[in-house]
Amino acid sequence: MSRVIVVGGGLSGLSAAHTALERGASVLVLDKNPFFGGNSTKATSGINGAGTNTQSELSIPDSAKIFFEDTKKSARDLARPDLIKVLTGRSGEAVNWLQDRFGLDLSKVSRLGGHSQPRTHRGGAQFPGMTITYAQMEKLEDLAESDPERVQIIKKARVTSLIYENGEVKGVEYETAGQKHQERGAVVLATGGYAADFDDVNSLLKKHRPDLVHLPTTNGDHCTGDGQKMVASIGGRLIDLEKVQVHPTGLVDPRDPDAKVKFLAAEALRGCGGLLLDNEGQRFADELGHRDYVTGRMWENNKFPVRLVLNGAASKEIEWHCKHYEGRGLMRRFEGGDALAKEIGIPADKLKATFEDYNAIATGKKKCPFNKKFFHNADMRMNDTFYVALMTPVLHYTMGGLEIDPTSRVIDSQGKPIPGLFASGEIAGGVHGANRLGGSSLLGCVVFGRVAGDSATAFLLNQYTSGKAASRVGQVAQHLETTVRVNPENYNVNLTFSWAGQQQAGAGASGALQQSSAPVQQAAQAQTEGNASAGPAAQKAPPQKAEENKGSKTYTMDEVAKHSKESDVWVVVGDQVLDVTNFLPDHPGGPKAILLYAGKDATEEFDMMHDRAVIKRYAADAVIGSIAK
């Protein structure tokens, strides 16, 4: 066994990789896509955490026990208390780790549906899933460049099978650039769910939930259950595959209402006070109920189109999201209730009555027919401004997957752990039971990613120190004095072994032997050197990184506007002109996100989503010049 092999470069895989590095292992991360990120970058509401530093600063009386009970209630009859205990019990340290290790802003906390306390953390701008995942992604790529012996990354690498010998997983087989390779080591699968598995031949979705296949999805086309299918082929146990979460608030694009892939309206929009109104301007549900409940009420009420309505105070609290959705044409701003009533197609007095009824409920003067308990920014007035979007239920998350134990070991059909195989993130079933709470997707990725990284590293260390190796290490250790030095910036662990016997002999040198890492890394180096089937040289990370080429030519906006077709796309970001035609297929957010701004100035929208540094890091070759002043 050589090193920890992480399959999947989303938040869960990245968390596993960083944790393995912290524990002294070396890692190889494989991803079938051109970029890391996965579905994690699309998460819009935040990450849950109980007992966090931020909650303490805000005097929020939350605890792991309260969070455990909320999660258990949401999971219903499929609750796994052993897994829920890990998820909720390690949630606070997970959020603190993200803030401390990666310098993330998670200073805003909101209450989502099904939570008895505000515990969903996000920053002041940009989608939290993107900021959290990008921070880990960029740090890992930088480490791969500065310390390639310990961190290797290969993108566009599709893992095709697990190396399974004598009841144990020994590594993976994968394909990249038309070539097949093998890599041996402990394996962490973090390949995501199957909510975009629409394959005609081997679809988990069609097999277990054919009634939902007609729905649109928020998932990328990479979410096809690859990992689940690989593990099933070696006798792994899959559980709860029929438990597919249908999120109530997918955003309908009026220009393409039947699109199969849709953006998600963050649950935080309802947490900040957003109301759901049917085509008669009436409420029909507790907006902060569990997701499956809200979706069920939408279908039972069956008065579409359904609109999400935020008043001025609510939209101000989550302003960045509203402006982002508005920029994409998915949300509209209305000046006053009369304009909104006209849009819905009802008399203004009818909408006013809905608002007055809700205000009475929020102030305790009336009982809510849907038993809503929490009210935020609840003063609805006709003379306010409103942000409004059309909603539809969407496939969003798969609760089913590989059965794991609390240490992220994958379980076989006999109920026993498969040695050498670990899983984390959406591929792991049972963590959320019958229904996942909002904000627990990112949390599950971080918590069980870290658990899997821990467990895989411990497994490698056990392999290295077992049998004769353990005996030899024990004999040598009796004669060694050990000094440990940890560099927190790059995870290097330096062990200095001083042999007292040599020092007493009066050798000219100190007699000290310095090694670059813990025994796990020594084993990795030895195995890699002797592994004839090892894969290609790892890509430099990031593989697209190059010197920024601003070009010497300048262009006018009229010239840029001529390049507005899918076969010829230019955009302006700041003072730079980019030809992104060849980048379209690789864009993690899909081609449509760029095509909205084809031939236009995309600066405002770009700055909402990214730091300008990502151009130099990932798309330096796309810069063809600057915009004329």
Q: For 107-128, give the DSSP string.
A: -EEE--TT-SS--EEE-SSS-H
Give the tokens for residue 378. 């609840």
Which residue, 27, 1, 16, is CA-closest to 143? 27
DSSP reduced 3-state for 248: strand
Residue 472 CA to residue 486 CA, distance in Å, equals 25
Residue 79 CA to residue 308 CA, distance in Å, equals 31
Are 53 and 99 a contacting pair, CB within 8 Å? yes
Residue tagged active-site, from 247, 324, 432, 436: 247
Sheet holding 480-487, edge to edge: 480-487, 492-499, 512-515
**Tokens 């059909």, located at residue:** 413
Active site residue 270: yes
Are 146 and 490 a contacting pair, CB within 8 Å? yes
Residue tagged active-site, from 270, 283, 321, 409: 270
Torsion of CA 477, 478, 480, 486, to 10 degrees: 50
**Tokens 């197609």, located at residue:** 345
Phi, psi of 290 (to 5 degrees): -55, 155
Strands 385-398 and 306-310: antiparallel
Which residue, 322, 10, 29, is CA-closest to 192? 10
Residue 122 CA to residue 120 CA, distance in Å, equals 7
Three-state secondary structure string covering 43-108: CCCCEECCCCHHHHHCCCCCCHHHHHHHHHHHHHHHCCHHHHHHHHHCHHHHHHHHHHHHCCCCCE
Burial string for 34-60 (b: 16+ CB within 10 Å, else e) reads: ebbbbbbbbbbbbbbbbbbebbeeeeb
Residue 516 CA to residue 305 CA, distance in Å, equals 62
Are 35 and 586 a contacting pair, CB within 8 Å? yes
- What residues contact residue 585 under an 8 Å CB cut-off, 6+ apart? 591
C-alpha angle 250/254/259, rounded to 5°?
A: 60
Residue 357 CA to residue 511 CA, distance in Å, equals 82
Burial class (CB in 10 A: 0-12, 13-18, 19+), 505: exposed
Torsion of CA 333, 337, 341, 342, to 10 degrees: -70
Are 319 and 377 a contacting pair, CB within 8 Å? no
- Annotated catalytic residues are 247, 270
